[in-house]
Chains A and B, each alone.
Chain A
Amino acid sequence: MQHKEIVDSLSQSLGRSKGDINKLIEALSNVIVERCSELDSISVPRFGTIEAVKHKEFIEVDKETGNKSLIPPCVEMQFTPSTVLKKQLNQS
């Protein structure tokens, strides 16, 4: 499902304009950026948890050349589905 279809279906079910829905989605992504850059986790009941996991820096060795390089730290987004969603997924 693409972005447009989601906006359409949400605007229909909520009775709001597409602009409003887009605004809300933007607000949600802003909240996620703000919170996840502080390494918080956002949990949504019956859906799952979106969290930011920090990977420390590490030394990578190129097997061919033998060059070592230090890879900088990074924050990765992870999604863990709730047990309800997992069950539903595997039943279907």
Chain B
Amino acid sequence: MNEKIAFPQLVELVAEKASTTERMSELFLQELFTVISKELINGKSVKINGLGTFKTTKGDHGKEVVFVPDKDLAEDINAPFSQFKPVVLCDAITIEQLNEIDDSIMQPEPAATTIVEPVEPAEEIDEGAADNKIEQEENLEVAQEPQQEEPALPLEESPTETINKHNGKRKWLTIAAAIAATALIAGFATHYLKKGTTETVAQTDSVATPRPVPEPVVTDTLRNNNLIFDMARKHYGDQAFWVYIALENKKQYPDYNKIPMGAALVIPPAEKYGINSDSKKSLKDAGIEAMKLYKQVKASKTSAEPAVEIKQEDDTTTTKSLTKITKAKRLKPVRKQYRHYNLYRNSHRRR
């Protein structure tokens, strides 16, 4: 980290990589850099594939050299951050708030494994900051006991609605088919029509329920890089709709913060809750639903957590409660450059 590599060291490294002698690599590097500097002095630009372009520009203090790295090179260097994408913040979050939370965040492995987590309403972030320590323990537990993770839980209750719908369709189709078939048998039409339909209806009732649904219910497995927000973004186009996934799986996992890794969550069809990522109303509804769910879950908690006042529109109260928590639970500081991402990452998993 932050080492200075001198020329002899560079020669060694290049010789090792190219599996040639050090003499050869030294000659090559000397020649290469003299060629580049000659070209620059002549006012020309030099492009080297896999490395980048050196060119001169006119600055305040005469000519200056600009190095534009090759696209691949820049991508390779930025690989640890490739998973981070610009995140749109809520209006309620300010830089001061984020800075206040800094000190109270703890994270053991900040490097490439950190995950960008979408922003939640500010009130929820307060809670997230306070409960990081607990989450920490939870994370460790998960890491230590991977055998306990359930791979894919069977889904029993939640998809009933869709099953019923499909059953209805199936019934009608079979009835129509039965009618058509019986119409062909001219002599016994009226007699067989009644019998045929009742039979088929009975059959479909008995057969279709245990069978998998024709149009399968969409499920997604909760993973470290595929959290409930990621699912919402993937399936509905906006992370704000996470609440519907949480609601759909509420019977199985009453607390959306305690869903174990590896759990298969049912993704409800977008029409069921009127999800539309383009409409502002739908987004707003999702926010209201999230707040309701949050309050429900919070009310059901029995643990003695510090009570955080929740007022949706009042920024000042949230900052006050925030400072209270940060003062009360001052944990080890996290590596600064990842702080906000850790915050978002942990914010939805608090208890």
B: residues with CB less than 8 A from A are 1-7, 10, 13-14, 17-18, 20, 24-25, 27-29, 31-33, 35-37, 39-52, 54, 56, 62-67, 69-70, 73-74, 76-81, 84-89, 91, 93, 95, 98, 116, 119, 336-337, 340-341
Contact = CB atoms under 8 A, between A and B. Distances in A.
Contacts of B28: 10, 14, 21, 24
A27 B73 contact: no
14 contacts: A3-B47, A3-B49, A14-B31, A28-B32, A28-B51, A42-B5, A46-B37, A47-B33, A57-B84, A70-B119, A77-B69, A77-B73, A78-B67, A85-B40
A70 B74 contact: no
Nearest to B88: A69
A16 B37 CA distance: 21
Contact of A70 (B18, B79, B86): B86
A75 B2 contact: no
Contacts of B52: 77
A30 B86 CA distance: 28
A92 B340 contact: no
Contact of A92 (B13, B41, B48): B41
B153 to A, nearest CB: 34
Nearest to B50: A29
Contacts, number: 179
Contacts of A54: 337
Contacts of B25: 24, 27
B101 to A, nearest CB: 13
Interface of A: 1-3, 6, 9-10, 13-14, 16, 20-21, 23-33, 35-48, 50, 52, 54, 56-57, 59-60, 67-75, 77-79, 81, 85-86, 88-90, 92
B14 A37 contact: no
A22 to B, nearest CB: 9
A9 B95 contact: no
Nearest to A78: B67
Nearest to B67: A79
Contacts of B13: 31, 35
B65 A79 contact: yes
B343 to A, nearest CB: 10
A31 B10 contact: yes
A37 B2 contact: no
Given A28-B17, A72-B84, A81-B64, 7 more contacts: A6-B46, A14-B31, A24-B25, A26-B50, A40-B5, A42-B10, A57-B84
